C-alpha cells in the first residue's frame, strides 16, 4: 500500500493546526476563571478529551454490531481502532481531571460519581484491548471483542446509575444541561473550538489506525497464501 495520501496528510495537518490554535486560545487569550484562576484552563483539554472518548466508545459499539451482522473485518478494524483511541483519550481525561482536582478539591483522586464511572469504563476498555491481544485467531478475537463491546454499553449505563446513587460530588455538567450552557461565551467558544479540533484529530487517528489494521489483515492473508504454496 502507498504511503500516506495527500488527503490524509492534509487531514493530519489540519488536526495539528486546529489543536495548536485551540490550545493557544484556551491558555493565552481567554481570561482566567473568576474563582478557579488559571487552573481552570485545563478544561480546554479535559472536556474535549472526555467527549471524544465517549464518542469513540459509541463508534466501537456500533461497529461491533455491524461486524457481527455483516461479518466484514473492516467493521472490526473500525471497532478495534476506535477502542484504542478511546482508551488513550480516557487516560488523558483521568490524568487531566486528577491534575485539576489536586488544587481545586485538594486531592488527586476522589470517589466521585463521574470520576468513578470514567475509571470503570477505562478498565473495561483496557480489558477489551487485552482480550484482543490474547485472542488466538483474528476472527475469534473480532467476535469476542464485538460481544464484549456490546455487553459494555448496558454495563456502562447501569454503572452510571449505581455510582450516581452511591455518591456524587462532581460539578454538574456546564455544557449539556437543561436551559443551555452555563459557561460565559468568552470561554464557551474556545471550548467548542477545542472539541471540534479534538474530533478532527480523532477522525484522523481513526482513519490511519484503520488503514494500519487493514494492512495487517492483508499481510496475514499473504503470509497464509505463501505458507500454503510452499
Partner 1 sequence: MVAELLRRTWAMTWKDVTVELRARERVNAMLFFAALVLFIFNFALGPDREKLREVAPGLLWLAFLFTGMLGLGRSFQAERENECFEELLLTPGDRESIYYGKLAGNVLFMVIAEAMILPLFAILHNLDIWGLLPSLGIVAFLGTLGFSAVGTLLAAMTAHLRAREVMLPLLLFPLTVPVILASVRATDAILNGGGLGEVGHWLKLLVGFDVIFLVVSPLVFEFVLEE
By C-beta, is 154 or 227 nearer to partner 1?
154
Q: Closest separation between CB of residue 64 and partner 1, Å?
A: 10
Instruction: Give me the numbers of helices (H) and strands (E) for the chain, helices first please.
Output: 6, 0
Is 197 in contact with 18 (CB distance < 8 Å)? yes
Q: Closest separation between CB of residue 148 and partner 1, Å?
A: 7
| Rounded CA separation 54/36 (Å) | 26
Q: Closest separation between CB of residue 116 and partner 1, Å?
A: 8
Is 130 in contact with 141 (CB distance < 8 Å)? no
The residues binding partner 1 (CB under 8 A) are 68, 120-121, 123-124, 127, 130-131, 134-136, 140, 143-144, 146-148, 150-152, 154-155, 158-159, 161-163, 165-166
Please enumerate in sequence order all residues whose Cβ is within 8 A of that of 25, keeping only pairs 6 or more positions apart, or say none: 44, 190, 193, 194
Q: Closest separation between CB of residue 122 and partner 1, Å?
A: 9
By C-beta, is 38 or 72 nearer to partner 1?
72
Q: Which three three-digit cell numbers place residue 160?
A: 452510571
- Number of CB atoms found within 10 A of residue 200's CB: 18
By C-beta, is 121 or 210 nearer to partner 1?
121
By C-beta, is 21 or 135 nearer to partner 1?
135
Amino acid at each position: 500500500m502507498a504511503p500516506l495520501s495527500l488527503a490524509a496528510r492534509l487531514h493530519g495537518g489540519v488536526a495539528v493546526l486546529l489543536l495548536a490554535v485551540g490550545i493557544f486560545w484556551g491558555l493565552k487569550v481567554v481570561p482566567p476563571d473568576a474563582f478557579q484562576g488559571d487552573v481552570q484552563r485545563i478544561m480546554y483539554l479535559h472536556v474535549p478529551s472526555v467527549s471524544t472518548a465517549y464518542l469513540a466508545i459509541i463508534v466501537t459499539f456500533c461497529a461491533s454490531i455491524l461486524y457481527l451482522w455483516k461479518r466484514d473485518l473492516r467493521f472490526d478494524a473500525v471497532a478495534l481502532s476506535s477502542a484504542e483511541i478511546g482508551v488513550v483519550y480516557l487516560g488523558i481525561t483521568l490524568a487531566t481531571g486528577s491534575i485539576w482536582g489536586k488544587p481545586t478539591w485538594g486531592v488527586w483522586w476522589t470517589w466521585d460519581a463521574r470520576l468513578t464511572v470514567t475509571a470503570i469504563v477505562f478498565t473495561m476498555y483496557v480489558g477489551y484491548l487485552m482480550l484482543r491481544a490474547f485472542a488466538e485467531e483474528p476472527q475469534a478475537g473480532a467476535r469476542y471483542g464485538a460481544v464484549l463491546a456490546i455487553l459494555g454499553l448496558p454495563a456502562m449505563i447501569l454503572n452510571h446509575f449505581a455510582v450516581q446513587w452511591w455518591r456524587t460530588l462532581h460539578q454538574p455538567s456546564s455544557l449539556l444541561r437543561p436551559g443551555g450552557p452555563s459557561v460565559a461565551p468568552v470561554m464557551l467558544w474556545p471550548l467548542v473550538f477545542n472539541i471540534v479540533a479534538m474530533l478532527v484529530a480523532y477522525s484522523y487517528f481513526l482513519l490511519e489506525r484503520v488503514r494500519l489494521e487493514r494492512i495487517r489483515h492483508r499481510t496475514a492473508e499473504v503470509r497464509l497464501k505463501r505458507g500454503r504454496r510452499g
